[in-house]
């Protein structure tokens, strides 16, 4: 069987897309109240990333709690501008791994459904990643151990057979606790070094 390597997306391959900096840009652009938006964002975003609400509901609960001079579509299009290729990303390494044909590559990421689909299509990630264990499809979010265990069930692999790459310490620790070989992403060259230690690349 091919060795399995799972990549986080935001912070490893692309920017996070809707982190604090991107939200602040939207708040300034659309003239929203920062404290009020952030208060409403946290619970709604958790539900959106788990796939229990859709984009429209997320926006209704966070932005369109009162009449606005802009539309949901205008706000969403601005939200998408926060998705960019990450400087010093692992995209080149991912491309090399895919081209070798020696590995089964997938994503294990926290993402809401609509941005997740956009990011995979717009940046061509589906060319390299054969499957997605995305929070919006799994109903679970990292660093919950259950999302890693569910991925193992789908893959029908022992955890020690899985390499997992993520930029966040808490996610790396959680994957390690279930037995995965977890690597914290600290830049492309560091990742290349870590993979070479494991006989990869």
Residues 37 and 128 both lie in one domain? no
Number of domains in the chain: 2
Angle in degrees, 0-180, between the axes of helices 72-80 and 20-30, rounded to the nearest 10? 140
DSSP 6: E
Q: Are 135 and 50 contacting, i.e. CB atoms less than 8 angstroms apart?
A: yes
Q: Which of 118, 138, 131 is nearest to 50 (CA)?
A: 138
Q: What is the pLDDT of residue 32?
A: 98
Residues 41 and 69 both lie in one domain? yes
Express each pLDDT in 71-89 by its tens digit: 999 999 999 999 999 999 9
Residues 104 and 60 both lie in one domain? no
13: exposed, middle or buried (C-beta count within 10 Å: 0-12, 13-18, 19+)?
Answer: buried
Whole-model pTM?
A: 0.96
Give the CATH number of the domain where residue 155 resides: 3.40.50.1000
Residues 65 and 148 both lie in one domain? no
Residues 38 and 10 both lie in one domain? no
From CA 180, how far away is CA 52, in angstroms rounded?
27
Residues 138 and 171 both lie in one domain? yes
Residues 131 and 168 both lie in one domain? yes
Residues 96 and 48 both lie in one domain? no
Residues 41 and 11 both lie in one domain? no
Express each pLDDT in 120-175 by its tens digit: 999 999 999 999 999 999 999 999 999 999 999 999 999 999 999 999 999 999 99
Q: What is the residue range of 59's domain?
A: 20-80
Q: What is the pLDDT of residue 159?
A: 97
Q: What is the pLDDT of residue 95?
A: 97
């Amino acid at each position: 069987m091919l060795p399995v390597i799972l990549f986080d997306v935001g912070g490893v391959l692309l920017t996070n897309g809707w982190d604090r900096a991107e939200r602040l840009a939207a708040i300034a652009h659309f003239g929203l109240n920062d404290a009020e938006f952030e208060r409403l964002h946290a619970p709604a975003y958790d539900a959106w990333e788990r796939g229990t609400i859709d984009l429209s509901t997320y926006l209704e609960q966070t932005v369109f709690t009162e009449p606005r001079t802009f539309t949901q579509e205008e706000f969403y299009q601005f939200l998408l501008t926060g998705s960019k290729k990450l400087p010093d990303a692992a995209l080149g390494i991912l491309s090399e791994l895919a081209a070798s044909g020696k590995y089964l590559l997938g994503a294990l990421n926290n993402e809401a459904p609509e941005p997740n689909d956009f990011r995979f299509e717009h940046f061509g990630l589906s060319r390299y990643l054969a499957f997605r264990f995305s929070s919006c499809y799994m109903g679970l979010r990292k660093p919950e151990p259950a999302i890693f265990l569910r991925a193992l069930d789908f893959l029908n692999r022992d955890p020690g057979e899985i390499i997992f790459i993520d930029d966040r310490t808490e996610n790396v620790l959680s994957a390690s606790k279930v037995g995965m070989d977890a690597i914290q992403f600290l830049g492309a060259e560091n990742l290349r070094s870590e993979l070479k230690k494991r006989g990869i690349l």
